[in-house]
Structure 1
Amino acid sequence: MSSPVRAAEEASVSCPVTQSELRTAVNRAATADSTGLNNHFWAVAVNRSGTVCAVAFSGATVYSQWLLSRQIAAAKAFTANGLSLDAPKGPLSTAQLYGFVQPSPSGGNPLFGLEGGNVLDSNAAFAGDVSTFGTVNDPMVGKRVGGTITFGGGLALYRGNTAIGGVGVSGDTACADHSVAWRIRTSLGLVPPSLTDTITLSSSATPTTGGHPRCPNDSGTQGQTATN
């Protein structure tokens, strides 16, 4: 049971989505999506300040999806929210970062080392009883866990032209994570006015060509641009 201080802290955290709405959305998205390895997923929402405000999973129990993916999902949400702006500047997905952070033989890749700039707060991410993970009492709620992830699965959330937070999904391939996150955002109706934060799947993704590497069973990936 939450302490009075903990309960007050949770009540004060604004959120673009309730835990119940996020749980329903990730379950529906996981059922509808047929890409990747057919795994279950963690979904984490942060508000505009980057504070975790809802955590959910799609499986039957907390162990039905990779436990490690809970904090990865939180870091994806934090990354997408933190690098997205109100329209017309618009959203940036974690999938779009991939090509810019890879080491380049010729040097000069603009975001190389980005993942070291905002490290995950492991104390906040790993605290608490595992039985509360993915519930309204998840210990990450009310904490700014941070972290930077540079592959698919993190999207910014919008109300009209205004960025209001982010959602991160993890539990399968990076392409499937992006696909499920895209479905979640769409079902919640929190899409940006311009859908420029797609994943560009490329079999030749390099620091020069950009794009995101292809994944197993990725042909049905939602929110993608032309692939090769």
Structure 2
Amino acid sequence: MAGSVQAQEGCPVSYGELKKAVTDAAAADSTGFNNDYWAVVVNRSGLVCAVAYSGTGVYSQWLLSRQIAAAKAFTANGLSLDAPKGPLSTAQLYGFVQPSPSGGNPLFGLEGGNVLDSTSAFNGDVSRFGTDQDPMIGKRIGGTITFGGGIALYKGYLRVGAVGVSGDTACADHSVAWRIRTSLKLTPSAQTDTITLTSSATPTTGGHPRCPNDAGTQGQTATN
């Protein structure tokens, strides 16, 4: 299934490339709680085409994070465009989906717009999760996540999919996703999809809440 999806839809990475990238990124990153991670890649059409984890086994990282990573990838891919308009990360959505005391926040409720397909996300033998035969491969899982960990992938000006990462704090997820994209050499020409860490993320200010041990977060703008 993995091979046929890559041939028919065009997966931007192989399983082996993603496995190495998430393992290396998890080892290099020191933010958050030092957990292990799930990484899921979707192609340009939103189909899951690669799933891997950084730990020594399927239960070395939060099992719930597998489908969260898939939804992050689906969100970042679906809300990013080819250059020059470029990428939008899940981290950039946080402030703008919060309820505003004065109303008028146009993105409030965004997370309910694309419901995750739980049958596709949870189906199959757990022993195949995170392998090149993961049951999610070839499925369009859906889901909308509005905190850090999902960023789009590019070849030149063209968006070719996205990677979603989950397993630690939202800031650490973004940091590891950023490292993965860099190592895969699938960065957009303008990396405008940074995370802005702030203690006052609101519909007015935008931004993303700070996380424990977030000082070394990769792909961040100035913090306060």
Please indicate the TM-score interval, normalised by the length of the shorter structure. over 0.9
2:37–2:54 CA contact under 8 A, matched in 1:
yes
Matched to 2:53, the amino acid is F
User: 3-state DSSP class of the match of 2:49?
Assistant: strand
1:142 equivalent in alignment to 2:138: yes
Matched to 1:213, the amino acid is P
Matched to 1:66, the amino acid is W
Q: Give the alignment partner of residue 31 of structure 1, picking from 7, 27, 31.
A: 27
Q: Give the alignment partner of residue 57 of structure 1, picking from 45, 53, 56.
A: 53
Structure 2 vs 1, CA of residues 10 and 183 (structure 1 numbering), >3 Å: closer, same or farther? closer
Moved over 6 A (4+): none
Alpha-carbon separation, structure 2, partners of 1:134 and 1:147: 19
1:14 Cα shift?
A: 2.1
Matched to 1:135, the amino acid is T
Once the two structures are superposed, residues 179-201 of structure 1 have per-residue CA deviations (whole angstroms, 9 ceiling, x without a partner) of: 00000000000000001000000
Aligned length: 224
Report the TM-score, using the length of structure 2 for normalisation.
Answer: 0.97
Q: Partner of 1:155 in structure 2?
A: 151
RMSD: 1.3
Structure 2 vs 1, CA of residues 123 and 218 (structure 1 numbering), >3 Å: closer, same or farther? same
Alignment of structure 1 residues 17-96 onto 2, 5 Å: 17-96=13-92
1:16–1:47 CA contact under 8 A, matched in 2:
yes
User: 3-state DSSP class of the match of 2:141?
Assistant: coil
1:103 equivalent in alignment to 2:99: yes
Matched to 1:140, the amino acid is M
Q: Partner of 1:215 in structure 2?
A: 211
Once the two structures are superposed, residues 34-77 of structure 1 have per-residue CA deviations (whole angstroms, 9 ceiling, x without a partner) of: 00000000000000000000000000000000000000000000
1:12 Cα shift?
A: 3.5
Matched to 2:44, the amino acid is R
1:9 Cα shift?
A: 5.6
1:8 Cα shift?
A: 4.9
1:118 equivalent in alignment to 2:114: yes
Q: Partner of 2:187 in structure 1?
A: 191
Matched to 2:75, the amino acid is T
1:7 Cα shift?
A: 7.2
1:210 Cα shift?
A: 1.0
Task: Give unmatched runs, 5+ long, in structure 2.
Answer: none
2:38–2:61 CA contact under 8 A, matched in 1:
yes
